[in-house]
Structure 1
Amino acid sequence: MTVSPTPQGLALRGDLLDFGAQPGWAALEDPAVRYRPDHWLLIGPDGRIAGVQKEEPGPEYRREDHAGKLILPGFIDTHVHCPQLDVIGSYGTELLDWLNKYTFPAECRYADPAVARAGAGHFLDALLAHGTTTAVVFPTVHKVSAEALFEAARQRGMRLIAGKVLMDRHAPDGLRDDVAQAERDCIDLIDRWHGVDRLSYAVTVRFAPTSTPAQLAMAGALCKADASLYMQTHVAENRSEVEWVAQLFPTARSYLDVYAREGLLHPRAVLAHGIWLDAQDRRTLTNTGAQVAFCPSSNLFLGSGLFDWPAARGAGFAVSVASDVGGGTSLSIQRNLLDGYKVQAMGGHRLSAWAALHAATRGAAEALQLGDEIGSFDTGLLADVCVWDWARGPVAQARHAVARELHEKVFAWMSLSDERNLVRSFVAGRSAALPTVG
């Protein structure tokens, strides 16, 4: 992937859609929705949004006319695994067997620096080709895999949150670390990468079963020492996993409590899945400011369960949306939002396009404490922006032609579009040359 600089301001014409606030759960007309058809999005030479206007911009802007196309903020994927592109679409297992049969063997290969570098570049280019410009990413236990991912993201100018995976037990040879060496590796990576350009470090606990109490305590100490660090892990994804955690940590009140006791829950903590939580767990998430990354495609594919999003909203903690590839079956955020709609429908709730898209743009940015950088078209934010075709192919085109009001039109787009609809992707105002998508 190559990135070309913007020598002057850039103006993009199209149908602009973003959010000024969090929309309601099911309201089809909502003042939080900002839809400005046939407008110009102005991007300054510094890569930041300079404004939105109806009239044609002046000569200080290079103009790209995408009239009749949809322009959105770049998507934010809050939970995804770099090395797992190699095992996407793997057949026939639930979570714990899937890890042992497919995931761990794939991750062992990332001890090789050449594999790690090639994998990181391929992965980030794939994200951009799907309209994702920011991601919270698991590499592997190998320090070199985190280094390769940070370097590749820096070259592309992407916003990336990642960190070396911590696993010192219940993992195969080649995927275990030890507490002392893992701590040294984390500190070195934090010193070299955290806060550099658009990169942030996440203390990355694979999940409670693969870390000893000593390693969890070390991870918690890192978080307590620097409040600007993120933390990412998995929680309460699968019933067998929850039962295993109860056996390994018999004094913990719940799976989530394992993390809470070590100081791993805080406003920059991202916990994937969160399906099998109770009311007290939800209160803990709210009180600590931690968020759950809802991974609908993965939850359905692995048969893990149905996340209760309305219960999360009722409790008051943030929910973002994630692909969780390779448990998830697509990097496309639209496909994951459609699966999210289906998961909520199974629980008797109808997820609006507004609530769904907000959770993958402004909502995710604010949950990551990045609302002053990305997630909307507010003036001064970095221009992570994607241009989309409203419809591709005869079925989607026919549906688009008869859509009446705005929500119907956008919901049909969310349901029927994917990476093939992506026209252009911009990272901080710079155009990303996208690989061809079949």
Structure 2
Amino acid sequence: MTPANPVTSATSRSKLALRGDLLDFTASPAWGQLDSPAVRFQPDHWLLIDEYGRIAGTQGQEPDASWTKQDHRGRLILPGFIDTHVHAPQLDVIASYGAELLDWLNTYTFPAEQRYADPALARRGAARFLDALLAHGTTSAVVFPTVHKVSAEALFEAARSRGMRLIAGKVLMDRHAPDGLRDDVAQAERDCVDLIQRFHGQERLAYAVTVRFAPTSTPAQLAMAGALCRADASLYVQTHVAENRSEVEWVARLFPAARSYLDVYAREGLLHPRAVLAHGIWLDEADRAVLAESGAQVAFCPSSNLFLGSGLFDWVGARAAGFAVSAASDVGGGTSLSMQRTLADGYKVQAMAGQRLTAWVALHAATRGAAEGLGLQHEIGHFGLGTLADVCVWDWARGPVAEARFEVARELHEKLFAWMTLSDERNLVTSLVAGRTRYQRPT
């Protein structure tokens, strides 16, 4: 895929300078290290965004009069968050009561997704979903629509109109799903090929071969998905793996020749550096080695894992095995699009295993780390020269409890950890996508 050039002279505008406390990462922070050289913190600095929406640098002194200036001194400025696993149609079922994964799908998810066969509803849903992401400080995402081609079309078109980096694809699902949510191999392949030709590599859009999860695809459909990947190595893959023990047992019955759940995907060529696998809780040592060798990443979805009672992901084990981990909300199993809430839940999951997740490792997984896992570090996730200015401005603290905590916080990690734990979308002041304001908090 040829790298996109999403900002051209036709969309040029004034140069913009944002003043505030700039924080991003230059490398991957070590586990447990509070004073990390990977952190780049520039308090009370200016972030310069050129007329094409790209980062032109940072500086301590006020820029000259050729720049349009926004003074956010005393506020935190971060790269926009990257959510590596989230379901657009599941805003309709967020916070639904009392189900584990398989019951959740049948009771809540599948009925909600059936409605997205309606083109008008799909368009409204896509717009609402992307605007909600931007209002939570997420500027890029890897997204599941539904099995309906129109739902993917609506999502791509809505992302294009907002200038967002979006990775998505029509869901593949030809068995173990209700009427209205099953496709067939031949039609699904035609739909994928058409969507790839129309959207993949166009502006900031990319196509992901999207297998719902192994139980809802026949071996023939999985083979077709693998063939698409072999035909074009620039395509992404997104799917679920080893989220729930009952699910793992079901996969073992459906695919008796496979060594493991993960092996179902490996056999079809669906594990490669552009593959994003959600959850990965119930993996063994051999699975972890396969992931590391393939270059695929796991999207850690702590809020969803806790809410559905799926299990506790071993992040330390993942790092030891050598495969990448990014952070994901997994709405609607997850209970919020807020990446801070997601990461705060991630801390709790790791604490249950006797590990302590630093703010640095957590925030890196939702910014530069996610970008690197997706092969997009040239474009998003940090404030390096030439990256697109997907940027969010945050209040350090809102409300008496957070404000009191921030006043007594001493060193930088303590401040960021308190911010990660106590803040949410209410702290967001503005979201910029390629230098354009796409969300502004009401005054």
Normalising by structure 1, report the TM-score: 0.98
Q: State how 1:19-418 maps to structure 2 within 5 Å.
A: 19-418=25-424
- Distance in 1 of aligned mates of 2:182 and 2:442: 37
Partner of 1:91, secondary structure, is coil
Q: Which amino acid aligns with 1:395?
A: V
CA 434–104 in structure 1, closer or farther in 2 if over 3 Å, else same:
farther
Q: Deviations over 1:269-323 (max 9, x none)?
A: 0000000000000000000000000000000000000000000000100000000
- Distance in 1 of aligned mates of 2:135 and 2:105: 27
Q: How many aligned residue pairs are there? A: 433
Q: Which amino acid aligns with 1:29?
A: D
Q: Is the 8 A contact 2:89 2:125 kept in 1?
A: yes
Partner of 2:431, secondary structure, is strand
- Distance in 2 of aligned mates of 1:398 and 1:408: 13
Report the equivalent of 2:3: none
Q: Is the 8 A contact 1:143 1:185 kept in 2?
A: yes
Q: Which amino acid aligns with 2:218?
A: T
1:423 to 424, 429, 437: 429
Report the equivalent of 1:17: 23
- Distance in 2 of aligned mates of 1:422 and 1:228: 34
- Distance in 2 of aligned mates of 1:208 and 1:235: 8
Q: Which amino acid aligns with 1:7?
A: R
Q: Deviations over 1:34-80 (max 9, x none)?
A: 00000000000010000000000012210000000000000000000
Superposed displacement of residue 7, structure 1: 2.3
**Runs (4+) off by over 3 Å:** 433-437
Partner of 2:326, secondary structure, is strand
Report % sequence identity: 79
- Distance in 1 of aligned mates of 2:361 and 2:198: 37
- Distance in 1 of aligned mates of 2:101 and 2:147: 19
Q: Which amino acid aligns with 2:235?
A: L
Q: Is the 8 A contact 2:430 2:441 kept in 1?
A: no
Q: Which amino acid aligns with 1:46?
A: Y
- Distance in 1 of aligned mates of 2:406 and 2:166: 34
Partner of 1:171, secondary structure, is coil
Superposed displacement of residue 405, structure 1: 0.5
Q: Which amino acid aligns with 1:50?
A: A
Report the equivalent of 1:432: 438
Q: Is the 8 A contact 1:128 1:434 kept in 2?
A: no
Unaligned runs of 5+ in 2: 1-10
Which 10-residue stretch deviates more, 426-435 or 77-86?
426-435
- Distance in 1 of aligned mates of 2:439 and 2:289: 44
Q: Is the 8 A contact 2:429 2:440 kept in 1?
A: no
- Distance in 1 of aligned mates of 2:30 and 2:138: 24
Partner of 1:134, secondary structure, is strand
Q: Is the 8 A contact 1:125 1:434 kept in 2?
A: no
- Distance in 2 of aligned mates of 1:392 and 1:403: 15
Superposed displacement of residue 206, structure 1: 0.0
Q: Deviations over 1:163-206 (max 9, x none)?
A: 00000000000000000000000000000000011000000000
Partner of 1:380, secondary structure, is coil
Q: Is the 8 A contact 1:13 1:65 kept in 2?
A: yes
Superposed displacement of residue 433, structure 1: 3.4
Superposed displacement of residue 8, structure 1: 1.1
Unaligned runs of 5+ in 1: none
Normalising by structure 2, report the TM-score: 0.97
Superposed displacement of residue 246, structure 1: 0.1
Q: Is the 8 A contact 1:6 1:430 kept in 2?
A: no
Partner of 1:432, secondary structure, is strand
Q: Is the 8 A contact 1:235 1:256 kept in 2?
A: yes
- Distance in 1 of aligned mates of 2:440 and 2:253: 47
- Distance in 1 of aligned mates of 2:27 and 2:331: 29
Q: Deviations over 1:344-385 (max 9, x none)?
A: 000000000000000000000000000000000001100000
- Distance in 2 of aligned mates of 1:212 and 1:321: 29
Q: Which amino acid aligns with 1:231?
A: V
Superposed displacement of residue 84, structure 1: 0.1
Superposed displacement of residue 434, structure 1: 4.1
